[in-house]
Amino acid sequence: MRIIHTSDWHIGRRFERESLEEDQRAFLNWLSSQVEERGVDLVIVAGDVYDRSLPAEDAVALLDEGLNGLRAAGAVVALIPGNHDSARRIGFGAVRQALGGVHVFADDQHVPIPWIFRSGGEQVALIAVPFLDPYGVPAPHPDADGAARTRTHEHVLADAVDAGRALLDLANPVPTICVAHAYVSGAEESESERALSIGGTDRVDPALFAGFDYVALGHLHRPQRIGGSDAFAYSGSPLPYSFSEIHPKSVRLLEFDANGLTGVDTLPIPVGRPVVTLTGTLEELLGDKAHDRYLDHWVAARLTDRTVQTQPMERLRARFPHAVNLRYVPTGDADGPAVTTGPAGAALEERPKQDVILEFLAELRGHEPTDSERTLIDDALGSAMAAVDA
């Protein structure tokens, strides 16, 4: 039996302000072609199907089209909502959709019921756990001593997985897969993932997934195995959704026989725009021939110029059509303040105009204005105020 594990489609997401609809459609079409060419029986989507709990109409239409494509190509689909999805909305019509081969596991109020998937005389059992908001689901069970356990993602997820596992133990032994949307401790995040909860309490212990033949994880956008195991992994998102996602994107192709997992392959995704962050003066970025290979990338520019450039974004886009992000980092510190950062403290209107301008320049360029610059600013302001008063 062949299964594809993917996650974090974030259908409807934009990259900065640019639409990703065509890239997402290209991914879904490619995925359907893989299903058909490789005879894939089941596609598992481990959460964050949509980017928003209330997706736009275009996003709903695109997902509909994508799921139809996978069904037409011959695969059954199993999906869970992630923290970006609304379990209630994505679970609408789930019983009827299952009749059409799309199994949506969105019941976050009850124990996950094992689902047996059969194909060509083989079978696997799935425990598909929707993303569980610790404050939106029943409280965790008390511990062995009867003491209450805190409402953390780890506790509610562990309870759900334990309950599903207990039900599995009652059934005939078949290979088992757990599907979950979680931040497993030790895994590597990128800038795109919205925190599941505040202060790092969203981490879950990998040990709570023990005993499954495969654990299909979603949430982190970087494809990665947990603990060096091929059978415990994040597929990662199909496209980069932030400038930190410079790694290649892929889906995971799993082979099962009656005894369990027999093979794992990584299928690189050949569509979508890669990302790059270019650092240098505007002149360098516009002139350096080595940057020619980034013309089709999403480009973030980190300008090291010490002075504000004229129409920098327009000029960048004349060379890099997909430049979408620009910041001045005059100290060469790529994580330095954004050019849009304003002076802190009192409301701008209430502060002396000279101070605001001097602070802005200092922050922008990383050094205090010179005396002659101060004189220039004072003169300019004086003339401007005189003109206003006149």
- Nearer to Mn ion by Cβ, of 52 and 315: the residue is 52
- Nearer to Mn ion by Cβ, of 88 and 293: the residue is 88
- Nearer to Mn ion by Cβ, of 49 and 261: the residue is 49
Please tell me the distance from the alpha carbon of residue 242 to that of residue 130, in angstroms, as a whole number: 24
**From 61-69, 75-83, 356-364, 376-384, span contacting Mn ion (CB under 5 A):** 75-83
Q: Which of 6, 32, 40, 48 binds Mn ion (CB under 5 A)?
A: 48
Least distance CB 288 / Mn ion (angstroms) = 36
- Nearer to Mn ion by Cβ, of 82 and 238: the residue is 82
- Nearer to Mn ion by Cβ, of 155 and 219: the residue is 219
Specify the residue for token string 């199994």: 103
**From 19-27, 77-85, 107-115, 120-128, span contacting Mn ion (CB under 5 A):** 77-85
- Nearer to Mn ion by Cβ, of 173 and 200: the residue is 200
Least distance CB 106 / Mn ion (angstroms) = 15
Q: Which of residues 201-220 bind Mn ion (CB under 5 A)?
A: 219
Q: Which of 55, 66, 81, 82 binds Mn ion (CB under 5 A)?
A: 82
Instruction: Assign 3-class secondary structure to the chain.
Output: CEEEEECCCCECCEECCEECHHHHHHHHHHHHHHHHHHCCCEEEEECCCECCCCCCHHHHHHHHHHHHHHHHHCCEEEEECCCCCCHHHHCCCHHHHHHCCEEECCCCCCCCCCEEEEECCEEEEEEECCCCCCCCCCCCCCCCCCCCCCCCHHHHHHHHHHHHHHHHHHCCCCCEEEEEECEECCCCCCCCCCCCCHHHCCEECHHHHCCCCEEEEECCCCCEEECCEEEEEECCCCCCCCCCCCCCCEEEEEEEECCEEEEEEEEECCCCCCEEEEEECHHHHHHCHHHHHHCCCEEEEEECCCCCCCCHHHHHHHHCCCEEEEEECCCCCCCCCCCCCCCCCCCHHHCCHHHHHHHHHHHHHCCCCCHHHHHHHHHHHHHHHHHHHC
Least distance CB 328 / Mn ion (angstroms) = 32
- Nearer to Mn ion by Cβ, of 219 and 302: the residue is 219
Least distance CB 242 / Mn ion (angstroms) = 13
Q: Which of residues 209-268 bind Mn ion (CB under 5 A)?
A: 219
| Amino acid (one-letter) located at 100 | G
Please tell me whether residue 83 binds Mn ion under the rule CB under 5 A. Answer: yes
**From 13-21, 43-51, 56-64, 263-271, span contacting Mn ion (CB under 5 A):** 43-51
**From 47-55, 230-238, 253-261, 309-317, span contacting Mn ion (CB under 5 A):** 47-55
**From 21-29, 80-88, 301-309, 357-365, span contacting Mn ion (CB under 5 A):** 80-88
**From 74-82, 132-140, 166-174, 260-268, span contacting Mn ion (CB under 5 A):** 74-82
Please tell me whether residue 154 binds Mn ion under the rule CB under 5 A. Answer: no
- Nearer to Mn ion by Cβ, of 2 and 219: the residue is 219
For binding to Mn ion (CB under 5 A), which residues are involved? 48, 82-83, 219
